[in-house]
Every structure is written in C-alpha cells, then in structure tokens.
Amino acid sequence: MTCKFDYEAPADLLRDRIVLVTGAGDGIGRAAALAYARHGATVILLGRTIAKLEKVYDEIEAAGGPQPAIFPLNLEGATLKDYHDMAETLDKEFGRLDGILHNAGLLGRITPFEQYNPELWDQVMQININGPVWMTQALLPLLKSSADASVVFTSSSVGRKGRAYWGAYAVSKFATEGFMEVLADEVEHLGTIRVNTLNPGATRTKMRANAYPGEDPQTLRTPEEIMPTYLWLMGPDSKGCNGQRFDAQPPK
Ligand code: NDP
C-alpha cells in the first residue's frame, strides 16, 4: 500500500465516527483533532493541559463541527484504573470507538546514552509507549463495538532506524512499531479493527524546535500540511491496511 500524501478527503469522510486524539491540545494532535472534526468526526480531545484542549474545543465549535468532548489526562501519572474509568465513561457517552490517534509524546533529552537520566528515561517510556499500550487494552472492547475502527500509533524516523543520542525517545518509538505489529496480528481475524503506525516526518511544532534548535521552522511543513495521510488512515479508504508503517511526508 502506497502512502497517501496527496489524499483528498471527502467532506464527510468521518461522519458519525467517534475518534479519540491524544495530545490534542498542541502541534500535530491539535491539527488532527481539527481536521477530523472538520470531516465530520466527534472528537474526544485528550491531553494534560486543559486550557489548550478548551481552545481546540472552541475552534471546533466555531467551525460548526460536531460537539467534541474533553478528556483531561496526564499520561505520565495515569494508572490502569484511570484507563478503565476512561473506557467506562466513553462507553456510557458513546458506546463505541471508531478510531484512536495515539499522538501525545515526549522528546526527553537528546544526549549521549552515558549521561541519560534514568528517571527521564522512564518518563519518556511511560508517556510514549506504556500509557498508549494500557490505554489501548482498556479501550479494546469499545473498538470491538465499531464496524470499522482504526488505531494509529505515532512513530518517528528514529523508531525505524536508530540514531545516536536519541535515547529513550527512539527506543519508545521502536517499541511502538513492535507493539503495533503484535496487536495488528492479534486483531487481524476480526476484520473490523486495523492497527498501523504513522511517522509524521519533520513538522513545524514545539517538539521539533526543541530537538533541532538551530533549524529554521519555515523550512518545515506545518501540521496542517501533513493531514492528508492522517485523514486517509483514520477513514474508511484505508480499510484493509493492517500492521503497516506509513509516512505522512514523502522522503526528502
Ligand atoms: P508537541 O510537543 O507539539 O505536542 C505534543 C502533545 O503531546 C502536546 O499536546 C502535549 O501536551 C502532549 N503531551 C505531552 N506529554 C503528555 C502527557 N504526559 N500526557 C498527555 N499529553 C501529553 O509535539 P508534536 O506535535 O511535534 O508531536 C506529536 C507526535 O508526533 C509525537 O508522538 C511525536 O513523537 C511525533 N513526531 C513528531 C515529529 C515532528 O517533527 N514534530 C517527527 C516525528 C514524530 P501539552 O501541550 O499539554 O504539553
């Protein structure tokens, strides 16, 4: 399956779909939440900074999109109970889930491994892989209640080829790729849930600016510009794609 860099999503692509976006208050997650809502989805905005989520909520409402929901959660301290409470709340409110974009992420530090702080390592692993794993486990019954559910994990080029100094971030993204393959294989027989990874590629966000402080952000695509693949992978046109790795930008 080739990547859909130029995909033109129909206006009603995600009509009547319930889609959860983590890290929805900023960067790529914010752009995805707005794009999904613009294409008809009821979006559940999950993140740790309520003021940012409220702003996205207001933007969706102002644009006339379906009323979204805000789910404040800090993935760093979230427990299994939090994820099960979340599943119960979403079950009561919506009864099913048609998509999850696991987008929230933490860069940690780009530093030689010899100097990597173990607490920061654990923090990055918690937010980038352990949280999404246990959240997905809790939400599986809701995904199974959907006729066509898409689970998208956010990867990175350093999750496909290791690079010096990228430490826990790279390892967490390799783990993300591995977990995607395991889960995709487990749900394949159902035929109603697909699980894939998406690498956004260099994108103009705060995380990118932290990782590459000397780079001119104007040389990078904006989160809005990489949305075609995000839409395609969340909508029905990617049905049948399971266990695959996608990129949101063509190689440079
Ligand atoms: P940003 O730092 O701009 O946004 C990250 C989002 O994740 C924010 O909304 C942030 O919330 C949220 N988040 C961070 N920690 C937590 C937490 N503990 N609990 C809940 N939410 C949290 O990053 P990007 O938009 O650039 O990155 C989005 C995804 O894309 C990440 O997974 C990243 O690894 C990946 N990626 C990005 C690339 C790029 O070039 N930008 C390249 C390759 C991959 P808050 O705003 O409240 O801090």
pLDDT tens per residue across span 18-29: 999 999 999 999
Residues 57, 83: contact at Cβ < 8 Å? no
Is residue 96 a part of any domain in this protein? yes
Catalytic residue among 36, 57, 169, 230: 169
Reported pTM:
0.98
Give the chain's count of helices (H) and strands (E): 8, 7
Q: Which domain holds residue 40?
A: 18-247
The helix or strand, by DSSP H or E, that contains position 252, with its residue range, turns out to be none
* Number of structural domains in the chain: 1
Q: Residue 152 maps to which CATH number?
A: 3.40.50.720
Is residue 8 a part of any domain in this protein? no
Summarize pLDDT for 45-101 with one digit per residue, the tens: 999 999 999 999 999 999 999 999 999 999 999 999 999 999 999 999 999 999 999
Strand residue runs (E) in 80-192: 99-102, 149-154
Is residue 252 a part of any domain in this protein? no
* For ligand 1, mutation pick of 73, 103, 134, 157 (most atoms within 8 Å of CB): 103
**Gap between the Cα atoms of 12 and 199, Å rounded:** 25
Which tokens belong to 5?
């860099």
Q: Whose CA is closest to 203, among 56, 25, 26?
A: 26
> What is the sign, positive or negative, of the torsion defined by CA atoms of 247, 75, 96, 66?
negative
Per-residue pLDDT of the chain (252 residues; tens, 9 = 90+): 555 788 999 999 999 999 999 999 999 999 999 999 999 999 999 999 999 999 999 999 999 999 999 999 999 999 999 999 999 999 999 999 999 999 999 999 999 999 999 999 999 999 999 999 999 999 999 999 999 999 999 999 999 999 999 999 999 999 999 999 999 999 999 999 999 999 999 999 999 999 999 999 999 999 999 999 999 999 999 999 999 999 999 987
The helix or strand, by DSSP H or E, that contains position 247, with its residue range, turns out to be strand 245-247
CA of 189 to the centre of ligand 1 (A): 32
Is residue 13 a part of any domain in this protein? no
* For ligand 1, mutation pick of 207, 224, 229 (most atoms within 8 Å of CB): 207
Is residue 201 a part of any domain in this protein? yes
Is residue 68 a part of any domain in this protein? yes
Protein residues whose CB sits closer than 6 Å to any atom of ligand 1: 23, 25-29, 47-49, 52, 74-76, 103-106, 127, 154, 156, 199-200, 202-203, 205-208
Is residue 243 a part of any domain in this protein? yes
Atom of ligand 1 nearest to the CA of 204: 41
Known active-site residue 36: no
Is residue 221 a part of any domain in this protein? yes
Which residues touch 119 (CB under 8 Å, ≥6 apart)? none
